[in-house]
Homo-oligomer: A and B are copies of this chain.
Amino acid sequence: MLKSSSALLLGMIRGGFSSGYAIKKAIDGMRTGAFWATTFAQIYPELARLDADGYIVGHDDSQGARRRIAYTVTPAGEEAFAAWLRHPDQPPIELRDEGLVRLGMSDALSDAELRGLLGHLREREERQEREFREQILPTAEAIGAQGLRGPQLVARMGVDYHVWAAAFFARLEAEVGSSDPPPAAAPPSAD
């Protein structure tokens, strides 16, 4: 069974991104800070491995003196990809997030500080939502217009996720705010 990163590369090559550089650019363009990051240091050795395993073949595609290797998926690669895609194996996800760890440890904070933390977390989600809506979703929709729906599904999930997360943190902020009775006089202006 392929591992996710191999399958991702195979899928990208199937999708028409034939060189390591092109794959990296496409992945960056479809995430800009979310879902699944990669680096050249992962891509190039992995392409070599996939080639050695017979899932893809690279042929020289140099443009003049600037060399380039274009990969294509072999029948064996297609088969392995199809098998991976249909495999129902679902390793449990992990929402690894330093912000959430802070939230879990927030008992060491005052209510005001907790509100501050929640505000930071909410703002981050709002920023990421905007990024998804303004940059990633349009890109994915452009690809979608050419018949590929996958990127659009993921982009929509990204937008929705950040909307939900921002709302969740806002709700917690409101809760903490209301359970914090001002000790004496004027409540300190908006915070």
Contacts and interface: CB of A to CB of B under 8 A. Distances in A.
Interface of A: 4, 7-8, 11, 14-15, 30, 33-37, 81-82, 84-86, 88-109, 113, 117, 120-121, 124, 128, 147-151, 153-154, 157-158, 160-161, 164, 168, 172
Contact of A124 (B90, B117, B158): B90
Contacts of A93: 34, 95-97, 99, 128
B37 A94 contact: yes
A105 B90 contact: no
Nearest to A152: B104
26 contacts: A7-B101, A7-B102, A7-B105, A11-B108, A34-B93, A34-B94, A35-B94, A36-B94, A36-B100, A84-B102, A85-B105, A85-B117, A88-B120, A89-B98, A90-B99, A90-B124, A91-B98, A95-B95, A100-B157, A103-B157, A104-B150, A106-B149, A106-B153, A107-B148, A160-B164, A160-B168
User: Nearest 4 pairs between A and B by C-beta?
Assistant: A11-B105, A33-B92, A104-B154, A93-B97
